[in-house]
Amino acid sequence: MKLVMAIIKPFKLDEVREALTPLGVQGLTVTEVKGFGRQKGQTEIYRGAEYHVSFLPKLKIEVAVPGDLVEAVVEAIATTARTGKIGDGKIFVLDVERALRIRTGETDDSAL
């Protein structure tokens, strides 16, 4: 089992979700996050007072998948979330030790 964690541009969420569903992904978690990478921040001006905002809004999606699905999932996210411009985000893949579906008590792959 792996956890695929991706930081993407917010407006790309629907495309990513549509690309993942046919692969057999049963669910995912989305969080609104802020952060910085190579993309420069933005300058905001309020009545002449300038603020440089270096943390930009992004979405973090987390999807736990059986090991054999990882490559397809990573590929799908990378393809759909890409605009080619700086700030497209990153994908991380982590090992998952255990999983458990709370309602039924199923564990590991059958819980995903």
User: Interface with another protein by CB under 8 A: which residues?
Assistant: 44-49, 51, 53
What minimum distance in Å lies between the beta carbon of 44 and another protein?
A: 6
Measured CA distances, 93 to 14, 36, 48, 61, 85 (Å): 21, 20, 44, 12, 22
What minimum distance in Å lies between the beta carbon of 54 and another protein?
A: 10
53 vs 100 by CB, closer to another protein: 53
* Measured distance CA(87)–CA(35) in Å, rounded: 10
- Whether the CB-CB separation of 68 and 25 falls below 8 Å is answered with no
What minimum distance in Å lies between the beta carbon of 40 and another protein?
A: 16
